[in-house]
Amino acid sequence: MFVTGGLKSLLPHVLRRIIRCNRLNISNTSGMAEGYKQANVVILHKSLADDFEKFCRANAGPLPLLYRSKPGDWKCPSLSSDSDIRTDCLQYRIYEHGACTATLKSLKEYSEQLKDMVTFYLGCSFSFEKAVQNAGIPVRNVEQKCNVSMYKTAVPCYSISTFCCNLVVTMRPIPESKLEAAVLATSELKEAHRAPIHMGDPGLLGIQDLSKPDYGDPVHLHPGDIPVFWACGVTGVEAVINCRAPLAFTHSPGCMFITDLKNDNVTVRSSREVPQVHCISQDPLHYSIVSAEAAQKIKNLETLIGIDPGDRGIIHLHRRDELLKACLSISHARSVLITTGFPTHFTYEPPEENDGPPGALAVAAILQALEKEVAIVTDQRAMNLNKKIIEEAVQLGILKRPVPLLSYQRESADSALMFLCENGNPGRPRFDHLVAIERAGMAADGNYYNARKVNIKHLVDPIDELFLAAQTIPGVATTGVGDGGNELGMGKVKDAVKKHIKNGDVIACDVEADFTIVAGVSNWGGYAIACALYILSTCEIHDRYLRKAVGFPQISKKMGWLSALPSVTKEEKLLKTLVRHGVRSGKTASLEMEVDGLPFYNTHSVVLEKLL
Whether residue 190 is found in the same domain as residue 249: no
| Residue 267 located in a structural domain | no
**Residues 548/258/269/179 CA torsion (nearest 10 deg):** 50
CA distance 421 to 425: 6
Cβ 249 vs Cβ 110: under 8 Å: yes
CA distance 71 to 64: 20
Whether residue 88 is found in the same domain as residue 147: no
Looking at residue 407, its pLDDT comes to 97
- Number of structural domains (the chain) is 3
| Residue 272 located in a structural domain | no
| Residue 3 located in a structural domain | no
Q: Which domain holds residue 577?
A: 280-611
Pick the closest to residue 56 from 139, 160, 138 (CA basis): 160
CATH number at residue 544: 3.90.1640.20
Whether residue 335 is found in the same domain as residue 359: yes
Cβ 17 vs Cβ 80: under 8 Å: no
Whether residue 336 is found in the same domain as residue 367: yes
Whether residue 98 is found in the same domain as residue 168: no
pTM higher than the cut 0.85: yes
Whether residue 186 is found in the same domain as residue 244: no
Cβ 301 vs Cβ 362: under 8 Å: no
Looking at residue 269, its pLDDT comes to 55
CA distance 441 to 450: 9
Whether residue 192 is found in the same domain as residue 341: no
Cβ 189 vs Cβ 124: under 8 Å: no
| Residue 19 located in a structural domain | yes
Pick the closest to residue 48 from 253, 241, 251, 240 (CA basis): 240
* Residues found in the chain: 612
| Residue 270 located in a structural domain | no
Looking at residue 2, its pLDDT comes to 38
CATH number at residue 174: 3.30.2040.10
Whether residue 244 is found in the same domain as residue 284: no
Which helix (DSSP H) or strand (DSSP E) does residue 542 occupy?
A: helix 540-546
| Residue 425 located in a structural domain | yes
Whether residue 71 is found in the same domain as residue 116: yes
**What per-residue string of b and e applies to 345-371 under the rule 16 or more CB within 10 Å gives b?**
beeeebbbbbbbbbbbbbbbbbbbbbe
Looking at residue 265, its pLDDT comes to 62
Pick the closest to residue 476 from 554, 420, 552 (CA basis): 420
CATH number at residue 73: 3.40.1640.10
Whether residue 303 is found in the same domain as residue 378: yes
Cβ 193 vs Cβ 549: under 8 Å: yes
Whether residue 214 is found in the same domain as residue 245: no
CA distance 185 to 44: 33
| Residue 271 located in a structural domain | no
CA distance 423 to 412: 14
Residues of the chain short of pLDDT 70, as ranges, are 1-7, 23-25, 264-272
Looking at residue 3, its pLDDT comes to 39
Whether residue 115 is found in the same domain as residue 87: yes
| Residue 2 located in a structural domain | no
Tell me the one-letter amino acid at 389.
Answer: I
